[in-house]
Structure 1
Amino acid sequence: MSQVDTQLEELKSEIEAEIPSTISITDVKYEGPELVVYTRDPKEFAGDGNLVRQLASKLRKRITVRPDPDVLSRPAEAREKVMDVIPEEAGVQDLDFHEDTGEVVIEAEKPGMVIGRHGSTLREITREVGWTPEVVRTPPIESSTVSNVRNFLKQERQERRDILERVGRQIHREEMQDEQWVRITTLGCCREVGRAAFILNTAETRVLVDCGDKPGAEGEVPYLQIPEALGAGAQNLDAVVLTHAHLDHSALIPLLFKYGYDGPIYCTEPTRDLMGLLTLDYLDVASKEGRTPPYESAQVREAIKHCIPLEYGDVTDIAPDLKLTFHNAGHILGSAVSHFHVGDGLYNVAFSGDIHYDDTRLFNGAVNDFPRVEALVMESTYGGRNDYQTDQEDSEEALIDVINEAHEKGGKVLIPAFAVGRSQEIMLVIEEAMRTGKIPEMPVHLDGMIWEATAIHTTYPEYLRDDLQDRIFHDDENPFLADQFNHIDGGEDERQEVVDEGPAIILSTSGMVTGGPIMSWLRHLGSDEDSTLTFVGYQAQGTLGRRIQNGWDEIPVSDFGSGRDGRGSKLTLEMDVETVDGFSGHADREGLMNFVRNMSPRPEKVLCVHGDESSVQDFSSALYHEFNMRTFAPKNLETFRFK
């Protein structure tokens, strides 16, 4: 019997000693980080609302209770009883019974009403029918991404269970090493923005944190082939942790599966869905631009299948000597500050990912309260000494002024925007400004993936600010459903119709003008002196967006997708160019300083990454002088030993 099997037998005995003798346990398994307990008496288990909580606390494990398949009532019978328990106002759309696991997936417009206060309705469902309920939200805006991900995972349930069981056994394996140490190796993202990738190494475990590309720099990818990463074989990676879905952090996650990785990806649920959306689009854009994609859609599906979603605040075992906890990063939907607890109190490391410290219209500000943090890997995008963003209220007024000026001239406002995060922030500003009469009502056209990304935001309102959640729960108040918003889905013909009509606002990907539909809009509107190109997000060095910001007025515009012969051409830019600061998803210099200033406790060491060379060096120096802590502005391919 293996060490894991022995451990499971001992856990089964412990559980049996803790529960009433009337409840039988038929099996205990690991599925990923969770301990799954099978019982012939699920109704009795559900009768005591504190029993699972007490077991989880005593065993210090996440526990799921499932009915033994032998005791399940027939789905047709159970369906009627489940519907009797759930309030009609919950808006149940579908019940999907899975006899292999004894779970019933309930899709509802209002999941909270299915869950009930402290899970009371879920327990009542189990008491009535024995099945274990799992609840998902019906998106207020139909999302093909969410639908496709859910259907795919449903089709792959058996293989996914096999993956989870294998991962669970790996997590709970016996530790083999006597020595203890902690190292971080930088594979990208140092003294540059993009290709985020780090290896967190202990004597027992190797974890990859993020794996992105570099905007505007084709071929510059993380140094994955070094011995500390995949050089010793992808199978030597225990886990991948994805802080958020932006491509400079996620684009090359599927590539790992091409190299033979077959392990878990830990992320939040919206990050999983957004990664699928953005990486598939990444392949599509590469193909349209005549580039060879680094992987295929099959690897994107593999990545999704291997995702293990975690919620903010859940402490989760991901290796024998590593616990991971996600906290809100305030950057984009599902973005997470990733906190690692190494060993039995040996050391604690946090990776900020990308953060926004202050509240925005979309999100609460980043969490910086941890039990312990000795080392922090900290983004420094706006860490330069002069990187102070405009106050949010002033930024909104500046955008309103730009829109009003263009409207008075009869022109259009073209906003290059990231599909995820900034677009939704701008949509909220525009919706309120029109509703309150600060700008005239006019069409707001959303091109590229913006509408789909918005639909995903409405699927996961629990990741948004409280007041925005409340509005999304009420269709008549959902700001994303405002009549002014129009999804561009008719390609060039529809774009030409928009150009031929009157004043309008156009939000289009890509946010750094590196490809996608924004190039078509520049061809259509670039020579219109009455229209305004307005930047609202960070433009990385080497991108066309940064060049236009710096004064370029003759720009290369690819003709791919325009119905022409595919040759490149030059465009003289005659439209006004404006930059409205303050809408970035990144904290500015003051926000970054405050994130560290208010950390409790403050870290002993900080690695300043994800910023231009001057930004990371300025920020590293400022932290050292302000807080007398050890700081570093590492280069790529450096290794730091912390213990």
Structure 2
Amino acid sequence: MQRRIEKPYEEIRNCILENIPSGIGITRIEYEGPRIAIYTKKPEVLLGQSYVVADIAGMIKKRIVVRADPSVRLPEEEAERKIKEIIPKDAGISAIFFDPATGEVTIEVKKPGLALGKEGSNVQEIIKATRWSPKIVKASPIPSKTITQIIHYVCSMSRERERIMREVGEAVFRTPVVETKNVRVTFLGGSMEVGRSAILVQTDESSVLLDCGVNPASTNPRDGFPRLNVPEFDLDRLDAVVITHAHLDHSGFLPFLYKYGYDGPVYCSMPTLSLMTLLQLDYLQVLESEGRVTPYSKADIRDAVLHAITLRFNEVTDIAPDIRLTLHNAGHILGSSIVHLHIGRGLHNIVYTGDFKFGYTRLLRPAASTFPRVETLIMESTYGAPEDVMPPRKSVEEEFARVVNQTLKDGGKVLIPVPAVGRAQEIMVVLDEYMRRGEIAEVPVYVEGMIEEANGIH
């Protein structure tokens, strides 16, 4: 990542200091990834006047987060006791995780509404009492080891995470050398083939990689991995990686970049981070069991996790001096995203669909199809030929139920080989619904361990 930062930082800092109310106790203003973090000794005052922060964010056209200065935060053990005193026992706290790098505390509860309190009163009380910023999330009825390990690892590496986020911000908000007037798109994989999706988008100033997948079916590295050896690709000048979804043909080669020195961010949705970590670990295990050479290690997967910045759908984020990213629902699997890139000052807009589904499923809504502006559309085309007309879903489900019932009636066992992420969950919902309606005989359903872990992430 390139860094030329002095002027933008001074302008942003001066604008904040000129417009912030006096007596707030600002201790520092610094980059936190694609956002600006304001550290204060009185966070509850600034959060209580949220319009002030919103006005400043509008002036500098940057996202702002308010953090309590570390010097005023309660020690973690004492803060945990306070949190348990404030949140009602009936809310069912299952876990509390502290992140010293951001001053956030994640509180997993069975009943989020009860934990929040009326109009967020409990959240405000926690901020006042502990000076930690609470993030209340619903605890999964199926615990996920992957999510827990990710949270623990990121929190344990808080100092390194802080460095990464600061350097990402410096790169994102650097002063461009020249005005962006050109855009180049290079396909490093996934073009006229299935697998190893990787698209390089370059401007006069920036370089962004969309997806970085493998072809799991290939045993030849030349055909199985993206063509990162082309002259256009320079790892040292790469500003960001964006992952559309967790399937290995879109995310499986990401840790390889960190193995060879990439120190920049990877942007994705929150579910994608957990699911792709699960699948990458499984990918290594499969390769090792087959006696094949692994392209990266578990340490490289952890490095990718540490550099991950998760985004919500429809949240506009600066990822380079001249590129803004927005993720939209793709409807393919949990967390799958359509990528919208706004380049320059209205110069060009690219939409990259990744894998998408424009139709309702039992778990997900259809893919987004409306965007503010699009000049270039890069679209996957699986089942996109004129002859690829799928039968109605209802008839397929009924045929599935018929085969299952006939097999059971004949004394057989039904084995359903299915990808662990996405389709497995759809099949489980279909089985549950048809059994509840009495259209499939109620018999025990055994689920493979990796599918159970994916269910926990869902």
* TM-score over 0.5 for the pair: yes
Residue 399 of structure 1, CA deviation: 1.0
What CA deviation, in whole Å up to 9, does each residue of 1:411-455 have, x standing for no partner? 122222110000000000001111111111112122251111111
CA contact 1:44–1:127 (8 Å) conserved in 2: no
- Whether 2:49 is the aligned partner of 1:48: answer yes
Larger radius of gyration: 1
Aligned to 2:202: 201
Residues 101/287 of structure 1: CA separation in 2 closer, same or farther (3 Å cut): closer
Aligned to 1:90: 91
- Whether 2:305 is the aligned partner of 1:304: answer yes
Mapped partners of 1:260, 1:195: distance in 2: 20
Mapped partners of 2:21, 2:322: distance in 1: 33
- Whether 2:109 is the aligned partner of 1:108: answer yes
Aligned to 2:139: 138
CA contact 2:190–2:196 (8 Å) conserved in 1: yes
Aligned to 1:222: 226
Residue 218 of structure 1, CA deviation: 1.9
CA contact 1:403–1:439 (8 Å) conserved in 2: yes
Residue 261 of structure 1, CA deviation: 1.3
Question: What secondary structure sits across from 1:434 in the alignment?
Answer: helix
Give matches, 1:355-370, under 5 Å.
Answer: 355-370=356-371
Aligned to 1:16: 17
Aligned to 1:168: 169
CA contact 1:12–1:27 (8 Å) conserved in 2: no
Mapped partners of 1:191, 1:240: distance in 2: 22
Mapped partners of 1:207, 1:117: distance in 2: 43
Aligned to 1:292: 293
Residues 74/264 of structure 1: CA separation in 2 closer, same or farther (3 Å cut): closer
Mapped partners of 2:179, 2:47: distance in 1: 42
Residue 95 of structure 1, CA deviation: 3.3
Residue 136 of structure 1, CA deviation: 4.0
What CA deviation, in whole Å up to 9, does each residue of 1:306-327 have, x standing for no partner? 1111111110000000000001
**Percent identity, aligned pairs only?**
46
Residue 120 of structure 1, CA deviation: 5.3
CA contact 1:31–1:167 (8 Å) conserved in 2: yes
What CA deviation, in whole Å up to 9, does each residue of 1:128-184 have, x standing for no partner? 433222334432102111111111111111111111111110111110124511111
Residues 117/318 of structure 1: CA separation in 2 closer, same or farther (3 Å cut): farther
Question: What secondary structure sits across from 1:369 in the alignment?
Answer: coil
Residue 14 of structure 1, CA deviation: 1.9
Mapped partners of 1:12, 1:60: distance in 2: 13
Residues 19/178 of structure 1: CA separation in 2 closer, same or farther (3 Å cut): closer
Aligned to 2:431: 430
What CA deviation, in whole Å up to 9, does each residue of 1:467-494 have, x standing for no partner? xxxxxxxxxxxxxxxxxxxxxxxxxxxx
CA contact 2:101–2:161 (8 Å) conserved in 1: no
Letter in 2 for 1:216: A
Letter in 2 for 1:162: R
Question: What secondary structure sits across from 1:208 in the alignment?
Answer: strand
Residue 115 of structure 1, CA deviation: 4.4
What CA deviation, in whole Å up to 9, does each residue of 1:381-405 have, x standing for no partner? 0111111112222221121111111
Residue 121 of structure 1, CA deviation: 4.0
CA contact 2:200–2:209 (8 Å) conserved in 1: yes
Mapped partners of 1:344, 1:86: distance in 2: 46
Question: What secondary structure sits across from 1:416 in the alignment?
Answer: coil
Question: What secondary structure sits across from 1:222 in the alignment?
Answer: coil
CA contact 1:49–1:123 (8 Å) conserved in 2: no
Mapped partners of 2:100, 2:276: distance in 1: 30
Residue 67 of structure 1, CA deviation: 1.2
Aligned to 2:397: 396
Give matches, 1:347-362, under 5 Å.
Answer: 347-362=348-363
What CA deviation, in whole Å up to 9, does each residue of 1:562-591 have, x standing for no partner? xxxxxxxxxxxxxxxxxxxxxxxxxxxxxx
Question: What secondary structure sits across from 2:383 in the alignment?
Answer: coil
Please identify, of 104-113 and 438-447, the stretch whose mean Cα deviation from structure 2 is larger: 104-113
Mapped partners of 2:409, 2:326: distance in 1: 51
Aligned to 1:481: none
TM-score (normalizing by structure 2): 0.93
Mapped partners of 1:182, 1:117: distance in 2: 49
CA contact 2:100–2:158 (8 Å) conserved in 1: no
Mapped partners of 2:286, 2:22: distance in 1: 60
- Whether 2:267 is the aligned partner of 1:263: answer no
Letter in 1 for 2:39: Y
- Whether 2:8 is the aligned partner of 1:4: answer no
Mapped partners of 2:312, 2:359: distance in 1: 21
Aligned to 2:388: 387
Mapped partners of 1:76, 1:281: distance in 2: 35
Question: What secondary structure sits across from 2:416 in the alignment?
Answer: strand
Mapped partners of 2:180, 2:51: distance in 1: 39
TM-score (normalizing by structure 1): 0.67
Aligned to 2:124: 123
Mapped partners of 2:317, 2:350: distance in 1: 15
Question: What secondary structure sits across from 1:107 in the alignment?
Answer: strand
Give matches, 1:552-571, under 5 Å.
Answer: none
Mapped partners of 2:336, 2:279: distance in 1: 14
Segments of 5+ residues of structure 2 without an aligned counterpart are: none
Mapped partners of 1:102, 1:256: distance in 2: 29
Mapped partners of 1:116, 1:33: distance in 2: 31
Aligned to 1:39: 40
Aligned to 1:64: 65
Mapped partners of 1:205, 1:92: distance in 2: 44
Residues 158/74 of structure 1: CA separation in 2 closer, same or farther (3 Å cut): closer
Letter in 2 for 1:222: P
Aligned to 1:180: 181
Mapped partners of 2:275, 2:154: distance in 1: 15
Letter in 1 for 2:307: H
Mapped partners of 1:87, 1:421: distance in 2: 36
CA contact 2:15–2:56 (8 Å) conserved in 1: no
Aligned to 1:475: none
- Whether 2:311 is the aligned partner of 1:332: answer no
Segments of 5+ residues of structure 1 without an aligned counterpart are: 458-643
Mapped partners of 2:90, 2:50: distance in 1: 24
What CA deviation, in whole Å up to 9, does each residue of 1:235-289 have, x standing for no partner? 1211111000101111111111222211111011111111111011111111111
Aligned to 2:242: 241
CA contact 1:90–1:109 (8 Å) conserved in 2: yes
Please identify, of 447-456 and 116-125, the stretch whose mean Cα deviation from structure 2 is larger: 116-125
Question: What secondary structure sits across from 1:454 in the alignment?
Answer: helix
Letter in 2 for 1:36: A
CA contact 1:8–1:28 (8 Å) conserved in 2: no
CA contact 2:268–2:310 (8 Å) conserved in 1: yes
Residue 215 of structure 1, CA deviation: 3.7
Give matches, 1:312-327, under 5 Å.
Answer: 312-327=313-328
Q: Which has the higher contact order (CA 8 A, sep 6+)?
A: 1
Mapped partners of 1:433, 1:355: distance in 2: 26
Residue 52 of structure 1, CA deviation: 3.0
Q: Work out the number of aligned pairs and report it.
A: 453
Residue 19 of structure 1, CA deviation: 3.0
Letter in 2 for 1:10: E
CA contact 2:154–2:306 (8 Å) conserved in 1: yes
Please identify, of 91-100 and 273-282, the stretch whose mean Cα deviation from structure 2 is larger: 91-100
Please identify, of 341-350 and 144-153, the stretch whose mean Cα deviation from structure 2 is larger: 144-153
CA RMSD of aligned residues (A): 2.0
Letter in 2 for 1:302: D
Please identify, of 69-78 and 271-280, the stretch whose mean Cα deviation from structure 2 is larger: 69-78
Mapped partners of 1:283, 1:74: distance in 2: 39
